[in-house]
């Protein structure tokens, strides 16, 4: 029986008693670091790539969180796969994305989704974070030029 190995392979979750003011401070700091300035001219494809990379990392971390049910973890694994493919496609079409009209708004939405996903890991109630994540994936995909949207 492989139970000890199984327990080691899953990231440990925090109980409600373990959460304190320190966790809230860390999440607030994370939100401030990830949210770009409000000036739209400051946004570029590299900001989008950095935000997308942070969201991918948060999704991968969330697959081991006890705040999500097994079915939700499967959806998160699917989202992680789609985000990884989006990272590749955004990187390939960086020049075309620079002219996208919704670049700043999408970058802000990615930072917000990352913050929300990390907050879910700390506070629980994971079901509310899944659907907005998939909606965001569609929004990022629409930023790409038509040729970059097709799987190659």
Structural domain includes residue 73? yes
Range of the domain at 82: 44-149
Name which of 57, 138, 134, 140 is nearest 91 in CA terms: 140
pLDDT tens by residue, 103-152:
888 899 999 888 888 887 776 666 677 888 899 999 888 888 776 555 54
Tokens of 79: 């989202």
- Residue pair 55/83 in contact (Cβ under 8 Å)? The answer is yes
The number of residues in the chain equals: 152
Q: Is residue 29 part of a domain?
A: no
2-52 tens-digit pLDDT: 444 434 444 444 444 444 444 555 555 544 444 445 555 567 888 889 999
Residue for token digits 């900001």?
Answer: 47
Number of folded domains that form the chain: 1
**How much is the average pLDDT of 75-101?**
89
Does any domain span residue 70? yes
CB 130 within 8 A of CB 65: no
Do the domain assignments include residue 103? yes
């Amino acid at each position: 029986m492989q139970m000890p190995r199984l327990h080691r392979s899953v990231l440990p979750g925090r109980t409600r008693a373990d959460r304190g003011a320190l966790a809230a401070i860390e999440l607030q700091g994370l939100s401030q670091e990830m949210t770009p300035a409000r000036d739209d001219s400051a946004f570029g494809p590299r900001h989008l790539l950095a935000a997308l990379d942070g969201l991918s990392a948060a999704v991968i971390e969330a697959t081991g969180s006890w705040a999500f049910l097994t079915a939700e973890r499967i959806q998160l694994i699917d989202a992680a796969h789609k985000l990884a493919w989006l990272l590749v496609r955004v990187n390939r079409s960086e020049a075309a994305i620079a002219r996208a009209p919704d670049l700043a708004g999408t970058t802000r939405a990615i930072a917000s989704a990352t913050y929300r996903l990390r907050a879910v890991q700390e506070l629980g109630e994971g079901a509310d974070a899944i659907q907005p994540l998939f909606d965001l994936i569609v929004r990022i995909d629409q930023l790409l030029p038509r040729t970059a949207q097709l799987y190659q």
